[in-house]
Structure 1
C-alpha cells in the first residue's frame, strides 16, 4: 500500500509522476502474468468547510469516511481518497509538494495525522517541497534531505536539524527518502521500485516511461552554484567580478586584492561564508558559465573552455565530472537548445 498525500495547491506532477511509475510497474507485472505489486492511492484531508457540514466524516481511528477533492496548482481538480485511520496497514507514505505546502504544514490536524501515519509506515518519502512538510512534522530531524534546488537554503535555515544536500536528485537516509524538484519524484519512485522489486523491473518501467533509471548528474546542473548563494551579502560583488573575468587569472592573490584583504584573511573568511575554498568557488562559477554556453550556444567545446578560463578541454571535463557527474559533451547532448 502506497499513499500519496495531496492538499490544495499541490504540484500536480509531484502526485501524478510517482503514481504513474507505480501504475506502470503494475501493468508490466500483470502483462507477465503476475499479481500487481503496488496498491497506490492519492489521499487528502477534507476541507474544513466539508467537515463542518458533514457530520460523521471523521472516524474514531483518526481517518475520514468521505473522500476529498483538491485543486492542484495547475488548476486540475483531483478526487482523492479520504485520510485512512492512522493505524491502518501501510508500506509507503509519500508527501507531495507545491505552493500549498505552507498551508498544509500549518494544519494541526493534518500534521498530527502525518506524524502518526509515518510511525505506521515502513518508509516515508517526499517529493520536492514536500520535504518542508516532513521537516515541520519533525520527521527529517537529524536526517539528510533534498528538496528543490531553489529552496535548499530556505529549508536549511528554517530547519537547522535537517542536513540539506543541494545537489542529489534524491536522498535515501534510513527509512526516509526525499527528492529534489518536481520530476525528481519520478526518479525517487523508480528507486523505490528498484529497492522493492529489483533493477530489471525498475529499468523496464524507466524504459517504458522514456526515463533514465538513474539520470546522470545532480540537480546542480539545473541551477546556479548553490553553495555560493549564502555568501552573496558579503561576497556578491566579488562573484560578479569573477563572472566578468572568467577568462583571466583568478588566483588567490588576485581575489584577495579584489576583496581588499590579506590572502590568509580572505581565505579564512571566504571559507567560513561559503564552505568552499576560493579555488573551488571559481571552478563552480566557471562550470556554471560553461554550462550556459553549452546549452545556449553552438560554440565549440574548446572555445568554451578558453572563454570560461579552464585553459584546456581536459581541465573543463574534470570540472564537469566533479560537479555535474557528466562530461561537457554529454551535457550539451542532453540540454542544448
Structure 2
C-alpha cells in the first residue's frame, strides 16, 4: 500500500486520544523491496504464522500474468484466519481469491480486471462498480484512490466518524466516498474526442436543474441540431438525450450519497420532474431505487 494510504493510519494516531495503529511491512524474503515507482521499502520476512489485527494485501500491475507462490498463499490462509480483518487492495483481491478467502463472498477490484476475476473465480460475487466492499472480515477495494477511501473507512470503523472526518481533511480528501459508490464517472465514460462536444457536456452539466434541448446544446457549440446529434453520437456512442439523463443520474446519486436533501429536492435540483420520475430513472440506470443508494451510503462499514 502506498505511503499516502499509510498516512491515513498515521494521521489517525495523531487525531485519536492515543496511538491506535502500528504498521509493519512484509514480503516473502524480507529486506528491501523496490516498488514500481523505483523507491525501496524495508520489509520483514513472512514467518508463519504471525499474529496481526489486520493484514493488507497489495496487488500487482497485471494479475492476469502473475501467480502467487504457494508458500505465500498458505501464509495468507493461516495468518488471515487469525486476524480480525483482511484487506485486498486493488488487484490484491486476486491473492485473496487464489487463497480461497473470497469464496462465497462479495468482492471488488480494479474495474479493468473485474471481469477476469469473475471468470476465474465463479464462486465470488464480483461487483465491478464499487469503490470498496466489506463482507464480514474481508475488505476489498477498487484501484488507485479507492484505497484511500477504504483506509478512511477502516479508521471510521475502528475510531469513529469524527476521527475519520479529521483524517480525510488532513489527506485533503474533498469527500470520503462510501464503499457503495461507483468507480466510474459519467463524464469519463462518455469520453468525447473534440473540445466542442466536451464543451457541450460541460454546459449541460452546469444546467441540469432545468430542461436542456438538443437545439440549445447545438446552438451553444455553433452546430445545427442535426449536425450536433450526429457528431455527439459518433464521439460518445450515446444520443444527447441519453447522455444528459446519465449526467442527471450521476448528479442525483452524488446528492443522495453526500447530502440529507429529500428526494423531491434532489429530483428538482438535477432536472427530473419529481420524485417518481427520479425513481424510474434510477431503476433504469442502476437497477435499484434511490432510497437503497441512500441507505448504502449511510451504512457504517463492516
Q: Shorter-chain TM-score: which interval?
A: 0.5 to 0.7
Matches within 5 A, 1:37-186: 37-46=20-29, 67-86=30-49, 88-99=50-61, 105-186=67-148
Question: Residues 21-71 of structure 1: CA distance to partner in whole angstroms, max 9, x if unpaired?
Answer: 111111223xxxx3201111111111xxxxxxxxxxxxxxxxxxxx42211
Question: Residues 246-267 of structure 1: CA distance to partner in whole angstroms, max 9, x if unpaired?
Answer: xxxxxxxxxxxxxxxxxxxxxx
Are the structure 2 counterparts of residues 313 and 162 from structure 1 closer, same or farther at C-alpha, using a change threshold of 3 Å? closer
* TM superposition shift of 1:221: 1.9
User: Which runs of structure 1 show a deviation greater than 6 angstroms over 4 or more consecutive aligned residues?
Assistant: 290-296, 322-327
* TM superposition shift of 1:309: 2.8
* TM superposition shift of 1:220: 2.2
Distance 2:26 2:181 in 1: 32
Q: 2:51–2:79: 8 Å Cα contact kept in structure 1?
A: no
Are the structure 2 counterparts of residues 203 and 154 from structure 1 closer, same or farther at C-alpha, using a change threshold of 3 Å? same
Distance 1:108 1:102 in 2: 17
Q: 2:105–2:135: 8 Å Cα contact kept in structure 1?
A: yes
Q: Which structure 2 segments of 5+ residues have no match?
A: 205-211, 219-227, 233-237, 257-265, 271-302
Determine if the alignment matches structure 1 residue 319 to structure 2 residue 302: no
Q: 2:186–2:250: 8 Å Cα contact kept in structure 1?
A: no
Which one of 15, 22, 35 corresponds to residue 18 of structure 2?
A: 35
Question: Residues 151-188 of structure 1: CA distance to partner in whole angstroms, max 9, x if unpaired?
Answer: 11111111111111011100011110000012211111
TM-score, normalisation: structure 1? 0.59
Larger Rg: 1
Q: 1:220–1:324: 8 Å Cα contact kept in structure 2?
A: no
TM-score, normalisation: structure 2? 0.65
State the superposition RMSD in angstroms: 3.4
Are the structure 2 counterparts of residues 102 and 69 from structure 1 closer, same or farther at C-alpha, using a change threshold of 3 Å? farther
Distance 1:323 1:142 in 2: 29
Q: 1:21–1:190: 8 Å Cα contact kept in structure 2?
A: yes
Q: Which structure 1 segments of 5+ residues have no match?
A: 1-13, 47-66, 225-287, 331-337
